[in-house]
């Protein structure tokens, strides 16, 4: 070990300059610290398997730069310096939480319970410490790039999205949670103070910003939304070429609000028959017949809402030009149900706006990386978590280790 290795400069920020890797155990990590050759061999193996966890310039070579002791966990962390850029990065094992908050295995059960809305005081009762500690730990989940941590291959950026807003409250004031989803994962969450296109554009803009960090040319082909004009304008401003698809289910729900019993079943049978059409032409024909039937058999507001489906035909039929597009917002509604339960359990949002933003992102992380139930894993062993479904692999069998590794370098592409 050189004199340079023994230097102990001030501890750096853990946001973007930490490379988090899955060492086999703490003993394995200690052995690597003691033997430079073993450490180099481990880094070479990890880079060969998962280059996305490292900065791009790592392939041009590096040298061991220094090391420092993380006092909270009494753990030595080692730094490397890239030859191509002279930038310094810290190698952090996944068994320790960022900023030395604790050992990952000691914290993961508490964070797992947060997915079910267990309050911080409940975690104190079960696991000790204090509510502020658990709140800080939970909020740190929201600091990395949500999209960068969730999608590890830019080629897997979804071409077809679903988006919607959820009404919530921040310190008693109504706010709107702009939510973007695809492939069973929450890919973007933001906050808007009002229901304007500009406010929604800022909320959904976080998704665009993080997506462009993964791929500078990324632009989705389609996005399925409800009929709210501000939402559609926001997406059109963010991605001018995107095809906007109107959610068919929202139209159906407006119809079902106006009828009951046998009539309701009859109307729904006709409507879903239209939805099941296999082509643009067939869909238009069935909707036309539906409107003709409604004029003869229905009356009042019910007739008006059924005929309106025919009037919205071009917005619905756009989906037939994009085979992979979503025709309803179910893909985001299901995830927003979970979001709603989490918000209700915590009595909605409190504190500063940035704290609320991090809390929403932490909820998204807990969903994207949560482990599936033992029953599902037994029935479908290949399915482990939403992250694994999307990427086709996991870095670690433990969900929190898996997230910390996926959030290497703050989830950014450097």
- Give the confidence band of 380 by pLDDT, cuts at 50, 70, 90: confident
- 149-171: average pLDDT: 96
Digit-coded pLDDT (tens) for 174-197? 999 999 999 999 999 999 999 999
Q: Cα angle vertex 208, ends 203, 210, to 5°?
A: 105
Residue 414, pLDDT score: 82
Strand partners, 63: 81
**In DSSP terms, which residues pair with 20 in a beta bridge?**
92
294-308: pLDDT as tens digits: 999 999 999 999 999
List, as one string, the DSSP characters of 176-231.
EEEEEEETTEEEEEEEESSSSHHHHHHHHHHHHHHHHHH-TT---SEEEE-S-HHH
- The per-residue pLDDT for 12 is 38
Dihedral sign of CA atoms 390, 392, 395, 398 in order = positive
pLDDT given at position 14: 45
pTM over 0.95: no
The chain-wide mean pLDDT, for the chain, equals 93
Q: Are 89 and 78 in contact (CB under 8 A)?
A: no
Neighbours of 11 (CB within 10 A): 15
Neighbour tally for 281: CB within 10 Å: 11
The answer on pLDDT for 377 being more than 70 is yes
**Residue ranges of domains in the chain:** 4-93, 248-321
Paired with 79 in beta bridges are 66, 90
Q: Per-residue b/e over 180-216, b at no fewer than 16 CB within 10 Å?
A: bbbbebbbbbbbbeeeebebbbbbbbbbbebbebbee
What's the distance, CA 333 to chain centroid?
A: 14
Tens digits of residue pLDDT in 393-405: 999 999 999 999 9
């Amino acid at each position: 070990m050189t004199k340079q290795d023994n230097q102990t400069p001030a501890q750096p920020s853990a946001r973007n300059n930490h490379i988090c890797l899955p060492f086999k155990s703490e003993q394995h990590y200690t052995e690597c610290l003691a033997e430079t050759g073993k450490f180099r061999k481990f880094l070479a193996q990890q880079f060969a398997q998962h280059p996305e966890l490292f900065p791009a310039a790592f392939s041009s070579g590096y040298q061991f730069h220094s090391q420092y002791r993380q006092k909270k966990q009494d753990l030595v962390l080692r730094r490397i310096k890239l030859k191509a850029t002279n930038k310094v990065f810290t190698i952090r094992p996944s068994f320790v939480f960022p900023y030395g908050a604790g050992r990952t295995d000691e914290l993961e059960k508490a964070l797992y319970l947060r997915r079910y809305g267990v309050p911080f005081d409940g975690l104190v009762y079960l696991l000790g410490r204090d509510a502020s500690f658990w709140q800080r730990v939970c909020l740190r989940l929201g600091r990395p790039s949500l999209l960068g941590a969730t999608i590890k291959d830019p080629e897997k950026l979804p071409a077809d999205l679903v988006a919607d807003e959820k009404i919530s409250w921040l310190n008693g004031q109504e706010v709107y949670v702009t939510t973007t989803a695809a492939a069973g994962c929450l890919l973007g969450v933001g906050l808007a103070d009002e229901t304007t296109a500009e406010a929604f554009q800022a909320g959904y803009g976080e998704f665009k910003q993080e997506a462009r960090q993964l791929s500078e040319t990324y632009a989705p082909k389609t996005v399925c939304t409800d009929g709210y004009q501000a939402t559609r304008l926001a997406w059109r401003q963010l991605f001018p070429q995107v095809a906007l698809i109107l959610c068919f289910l929202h139209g159906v729900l407006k119809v079902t609000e106006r009828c009951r019993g046998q009539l309701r079943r009859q109307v729904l049978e006709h409507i879903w028959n239209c939805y099941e059409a296999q082509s643009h032409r067939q869909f238009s024909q069935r909707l036309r017949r539906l409107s003709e039937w409604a004029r003869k058999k229905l009356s009042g507001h019910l007739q008006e809402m059924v005929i309106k489906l025919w009037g919205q035909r071009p917005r619905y039929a756009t989906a037939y030009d994009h085979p992979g597009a979503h025709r309803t917002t179910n893909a985001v509604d299901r995830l927003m149900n979970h979001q709603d339960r989490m918000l209700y359990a915590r009595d909605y949002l409190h504190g500063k706006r940035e704290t609320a933003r991090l809390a929403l992102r932490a909820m998204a992380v807990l969903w994207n990386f949560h482990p599936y139930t033992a029953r599902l894993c037994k029935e479908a062993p290949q399915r482990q978590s939403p992250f694994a479904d999307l990427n086709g692999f996991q870095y670690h069998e433990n969900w929190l280790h898996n997230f910390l590794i996926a959030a290497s370098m703050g989830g950014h592409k450097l």
